[in-house]
Structure formats: structure tokens, C-alpha cells
Structure 1
Amino acid sequence: LARWGIDPDLAYPYSDEQQSFYQISGTQIIEDDGKTFSPLVTFTAEDIAALGVEGEPQEGKISYRDALKQGVITVPRSESDNHGHIAYEAFRTAPEKNPLASESGKMELYCRRLEEQTSRAGWGVVSPVPEYVDDQKFGYKATFANYEAREKGPYPFQLFNPHYPRTAHAHFDNVLELREAFKRPLFISLEDAESLGIETGDTVLVENDYGRVVRQACVTNRIMPGVVGLPHGGWFEMDEQGNDLGGSGATLCGSVTGGTGVSGYNTQICSVTKVDGSPEDWERPVAMPECQKDEEE
């Protein structure tokens, strides 16, 4: 922030302790009537003084100390309680009196507005009814040189980025324990792996026109032939040969837009090749982004 000419104290005016207090003291729980809310955690004047924060005492359902000790609070439930929720209940009960925000006031399977808005945006046309789009630039058909003859092209695999326990999006990918526990491999089907001479643990190069990623393979029968999965959230880390050793899905993404301008980040095609081994993530020092090095030094 200082490099941008912004005073950090203005952007973050509260200490970590004060922010935690605001978050916990502001947490509410619904009452038995299913309509009103009240504070969840009790804070005494002594609790506030011990934390060294500013705030007012309040009465809740559980004391601050018990909340820290238990970590959870259980709300008893029964079939007759008022904690249930029925989506669109008013509309379902009396649709004429409680219309929805759609053009017709009803739940629409055919959406004229969607087709008109996407056409106006100029990126293409989206069907007014849900349907599979098979002519994506980097969709399944693009993995074929001749789709009708089922002849595969130079990038025979469709690649997607499943979420993965190792990270929350890209957060925590520098945690060595998580790197060791969850390897972030490239998932590939048994059929495709056998045809390429690949076994679990082999190092593979995942490549297309936009970049190259190095991963260790995980051979599985839980993924379809012709499809590979590169778990989401890797930190980009380029080696001297221009390979991304961090496994970032963005390395393989092209500049593709469609519909109302949404990026086609989850439609990638690639080739997979077995290569000489390289250290796994947790066996290498965590690469620090260049923009952070001056601060650490």
C-alpha cells in the first residue's frame, strides 16, 4: 500500500484483535420465533479488557470463553420449529399476488432477455433455453483434427480444473504440509495413461499454445478418457525452460470470451507427454513472488 501512496493505517485502521472482536461480537443467532436475531456470544467487561479492544459488554447464548473452548454451538431442531425455509414460498402459495422479478413474473425456462442481452454484448449468442454448446473454441470438439472421423488433433485432451483440498482458490499453496498431503497431480484415465506409457507418479508435461505445466500423474478410472484434470489453485513458478512447476491452471488458459464477455477459463485443451522426473512441490523451496522480496529483505 505504501508503494501506491496509500496510508496502511487508513486501509487497515483496526488491529487483528479488534477485527476479531468485531467479527465475533457481531455474530447473531436466530431466535425460536424464526424471525428475530440476537447476539450469539456473551462478552463481559473483563473479556473486553483482557483482549485489549474497544467494545461494549453484551449478553449472548454462549460465553466468549466457552465459545473458544467448544468451537461450536448446537441449536436443537424439531419438525415444528421455525427455523426452516421454503424458497419462493410466497410465490408458490400465491403466484399472481407475488410475481418474481422475471419478465413474465414466473419461473422461466425460456428467457428472451438472456438471448437479447448476449446478442447486444457482441460476444456471441446464448440460447434462451438451456442447451449444450458444442462449438466452443477450446471445447471437446477442438481436441479433434477431424471430429466426424474421430481423428485426434495435436491437443487431444480436454482439461478442467477441479477444486482441491490443498488450497482455497490460490490461498495456502505455500504451506508445505498441505503440499505434501495433497500432491496436486494431473488426473488422467487408465486407458489414456496406458496408451501413453504413463504410470502414477510419473512426471508429465501438460502443454498447449499458451503454456507448459509440469505435474506428477495420478492414473485413475474416475475420469473419462479424453479428459484430464489439473487441480485448481497452483502458484505459478516458471523454470529456466519456461515450464510452470507450480501447476497453475491459468498458464494454459487462452484469451477466449463468449456470451456477455465471460472468460472461458475452464475450457482448455492440451497434450500430455511423459518427461524426466522433477522434484515434487513440497520437496522444493517455496518460490516467493518478486514483489514481496524487498519487504522480506
Structure 2
Amino acid sequence: LPWYKGHYYIHRPKTIEPMGESKTDFQIFTELCYRLEKLDPSLKDLGKRYNPRADRSYWDNPDPVDEAYLDAWWKRVQEHQGVTMSWEEFKQRGVYKFILDQPHVAFREQIEDDEPFETPSGKIEIFSTVLAEITDWTKTQYGYPIPAIPKWIEPFEWMGHASVKEYPFHMVSPHPRWRTHSIFNNIPWLRETYQQEITLNASDARKLGIVTGDIVEVWNARGKVVVPAYVTERCMPGVVVLHEGVWMDRDRQGVDRAGNPDFLTKDEPSPAGAFAYNTILVNLKKTNLEHRPGWDSLATSRAYIFRRDA
């Protein structure tokens, strides 16, 4: 299923054999259970109880067991959802979309059958009676007060904060196109195609004497990173962009030479549980500190060549 809910199944077959000594989580946990049996007599048959379809050979050859689990799961899908497609056909097609009796409508039960919502009043509450009754926020899961009615709350850091005098740039850290978070950062082709860089507005760069390709240091009270600059008009003045997910490379002083924004973000979550990835105040300047891009020093980013030649 896409994420934890969805209206279709996707078959994800193995594309290559595992490289080196890599194992799946299920293999590792199964083997740990068998080893724990020998350490503690009370854990008799733990391996078989944890993975009843397997024995110790699962460590070296998991495919038949994995296939058996998936085949059994598909039979449950057929039984509970009335699916007529066989497991073999599903593997061949690669996707199965649910056939619904009627279009999916959010809150259908509440709309058509007058079922109550899961709130104290049974209605959609603009004013939260639960939040309104809290007097000691230190004893809640939130940690900070949350207003009972939706309204703007001052972020931990923003351009109206007092620390903007020391850290005048608002940094955002979006997802890059050439990685999935930190996954694929070890692929040389992708690192050469797009280098990790900090994007800043041309007017800001002009004031700082920065041009595309210059190495800059970016810092705040939490940390410092070193990264090349990319100057453009497609970024708002006062805003800089540093993509998340690059693998760090710290020097002896704790400075990240690869440009990982996690060194600059606040570790504390917001009252609702989100982390402040896109509300970070920083400062930056040209630097002589070492930059370690994570690939051969002779490799030059294709993006940099394109921009230079253009």
C-alpha cells in the first residue's frame, strides 16, 4: 500500500541480488531470535515463534519464505476484498487498484448516517474543548501551550525574531531532486549531476561579494556547514535554500564540510510534533574553510558547468 493507506497495491520485486553481506531486517531479526534462544532457556523456540515459516537457512536464502508470506497475504486480500486477480497475475501486472462499491467520500457516516465525530461534542470543533481544559502544559504530550482556537503562533525562529540581527537569513531545507532524503547520496553519478549547494538571491550575494561556485560557511548558534553557493533571482531576498539529506563530513572542530542543514536546525519539535526544518535563521559568508563534497575532487558538477557556460 502507498504509505499506510491507499486504494491500490504495488508489487515490488527484487531487482538485484543483495550486495556484499547486506541482509533484510526480517533476516536480521530472525537470526537474532535464534541466537537469543541459546542465551536464555526461557526463550525456547523464539526463532520459530518469531518467523514460523523459516528455519536457520533463512539467513542465507530468504526468497522462498518471503514468497510464501506474500502469497498467503494475497489470499487474505482475495478473501476480504473480493479480489479475483491471482497472485501470479498481480506479480505480472505490478499493480492492483481497489474496486469500490461506491465512490469514497470522507466522513460519509457522519454526513449520511449522523454518526458522531470522535470529539467530546461529537461535532467538528473549531474551538477545542480538550485543549481549553489544559492548565499545566508540562504534563501533556505537547510541552508548549496550544490555543484552543486556531490562530497564529510565533515560530521558534523567524524574520521577526530578535536574533535576526545576528542571523539575518531565513533558511529552508526542501527535498532535493537527486536524492530521497539521504538515500542515493552515495551514487557518484547523482552527486556529479547536482552538487550540494546553498541557493541565495542575487542582491544578497552582491552585498556579500559572493558569486556562483564560491565556497561559503553557513552558521548559527547550533553549528556550521561549508558548501558552494548558487546565486539566482529565483530565490527571495533574505532567504537561502540548503537541501536536506547530504551525508555529513565533520572536521575536528565539528564543522560539517559537506553542507548538511541538520547541523543548523533546531532539534526541538513544535507543540504539534513537527520539527522546524523550514524556519531556521542563519548567517553566511565567503570562507577559506575546507569543503568536502563527497566525491573525487576532480569531478565537477554538471549543474555548475551548465550554469557557467550559459
Shorter chain as normaliser: what TM range? Answer: 0.5 to 0.7
State the alpha-carbon separation in 2 of the partners of residues 116 and 228 from structure 1: 41
Higher strand share goes to which structure?
1
SS in 1 for 2:256: coil
| Cα contact 1:30–1:38 (8 A) shared by 2 | no
Alignment of 1:58-137 (within 5 A): 61-62=89-90, 64=91, 66-67=92-93, 72-73=94-95, 82=101, 84-95=103-114, 98-116=115-133, 119-121=136-138, 123-134=143-154, 136-137=155-156
The alpha-carbon deviation at position 206 of structure 1 amounts to 0.6
Residues 9 and 264 of structure 1: CA distance in aligned 2, closer, same or farther (over 3 Å): same
TM-score if structure 2 supplies the norm length?
A: 0.63
Q: Which secondary structure state, in structure 1, belongs to the residue aligned with residue 189 of structure 2?
A: helix
Query: Residues 5-44 of structure 1: matches in 2 within 5 Å?
Result: 9-10=31-32, 14=58, 15-18=61-64, 21=67, 25=71, 26=73, 35-37=81-83, 41-42=87-88
Matched, 1:207 2:219: yes
* Paired AA for residue 21 in structure 1: E
Question: Mind listing any 5+ residue stretches in structure 2 that lack a counterpart?
Answer: 1-27, 34-46, 52-57, 299-310
Provide TM-score, normalisation by structure 1.
Answer: 0.66
- Gaps (5+ residues) in structure 1? 1-5, 43-60, 146-151, 286-297
Q: Residue 263 of structure 2 aligns with which residue?
A: 251
Separation in structure 1 between the aligned mates of residue 263 and residue 178 of structure 2, nearest angstrom: 19
* Structure 1 residue 213: Cα displacement: 0.6
Q: How does 1:81-230 map to 2 (within 5 A)?
A: 82=101, 84-95=103-114, 98-116=115-133, 119-121=136-138, 123-134=143-154, 136-142=155-161, 144=162, 153-230=165-242
Relative to total residues, which structure has the larger helix share, 1 or 2?
2
Kept after mapping to 2: 8 A contact 1:234/1:247: yes
Counterpart contact for 2:217–2:227, Cα < 8 Å: yes
How many percent of aligned residue pairs carry the same amino acid?
26
Is the alpha carbon distance of 1:183 and 1:115 closer, same or farther for their aligned partners in structure 2, counting shifts above 3 Å? farther
Q: Is the 8 A contact 1:119 1:126 kept in 2?
A: no
The two structures, once aligned, show a CA RMSD in angstroms of: 3.7
Cα drift, residue 219 of structure 1: 2.4
Shift of 1:153: 0.8
Is the CA contact (8 Å cut-off) linking 1:118 and 1:260 kept in structure 2?
no
Is the 8 Å Cα contact of residues 210 and 286 (structure 2) preserved in structure 1?
Answer: yes
Offset at residue 260 of structure 1 (A): 6.2
Q: Indicate the larger mover: 269-278 or 259-268.
A: 259-268
* Aligned residue identity for 2:126: L
CA contact (8 A) 1:118 1:125 kept: no
Change (3 A) 1:255 1:74: closer
